[in-house]
Homo-oligomer: A and B are copies of this chain.
Amino acid sequence: MTILSIDSGIERTGYAIFKDKKYVTSALIKTSKEKSTEIRLEEIYSKLKEVFKKYQPDVMVLEQLLFFKNQKTFIRVAQAQGIVMLLAAQNKIKVEFLTPLQIKQIVTGYGQADKKSVQKMIRLTTGIKLTQDDEADAVACGLAFNILN
């Protein structure tokens, strides 16, 4: 079974691929601030479409959105998540959600863990050194899903 975990955002969308619970790859899709939101959404959509084509995931795992202070950023994160979910439906795969608390709890043993601790646990369990937050978040999301299932 191949899983695709995604941490979506308008500026940086991280994704990770796991096959039979083993880490395969992960990356970060970046879009330019100079472009309109709709163009950036289209870029994320096109790049993830290629990921679908290449890895043919069986399930998508996302982090449940929680409200945060910056309203403009929050709306864009939700818009980006919408197009990610659209891709899942177009490829006829299910979307599973984990809360940030669940992910941290499962990956580090502590629900309030900071990003550094999450990245350290990823390094210890998979041997991969990730330094980019959103990519690491996508990997953590996939790892947590693998442990839970």
Given contacts A67-B71, A71-B67, A90-B42, contact A37 B85 (CB under 8 A): yes
- Quickly give the copy total for this chain: 2
Partner of A38, one of B45, B67, B79, B89: B89
Q: Which residues of B contact A80 (CB under 8 A)?
A: 82
Q: Which residues of B contact A71 (CB under 8 A)?
A: 67
A122 vs B37: C-alpha distance when bound (angstroms) = 30
A106 within 8 A of B: no
Chain A positions 82-129 with a Cβ under 8 Å from a chain B Cβ: 82-83, 85-86, 88-90, 94-95
Q: Which residues of B contact A95 (CB under 8 A)?
A: 36-38
Q: How far does the Cβ of A87 sit from chain B's closest Cβ, in whole Å? A: 9
Q: How far does the Cβ of A70 sit from chain B's closest Cβ, in whole Å? A: 11
Q: How far does the Cβ of A52 sit from chain B's closest Cβ, in whole Å? A: 13
Contact with B along A53-96 (1 / 0, CB 8 A): 00000000000010100010011001111110110111000110
Task: List residues of A whose CB falls within 8 A of some B CB.
Answer: 36-39, 41-42, 45, 65, 67, 71, 74-75, 78-83, 85-86, 88-90, 94-95
6 further contact pairs, Cβ within 8 A, besides A65-B75, A75-B81, A79-B82: A36-B95, A38-B86, A41-B86, A42-B89, A78-B78, A82-B83
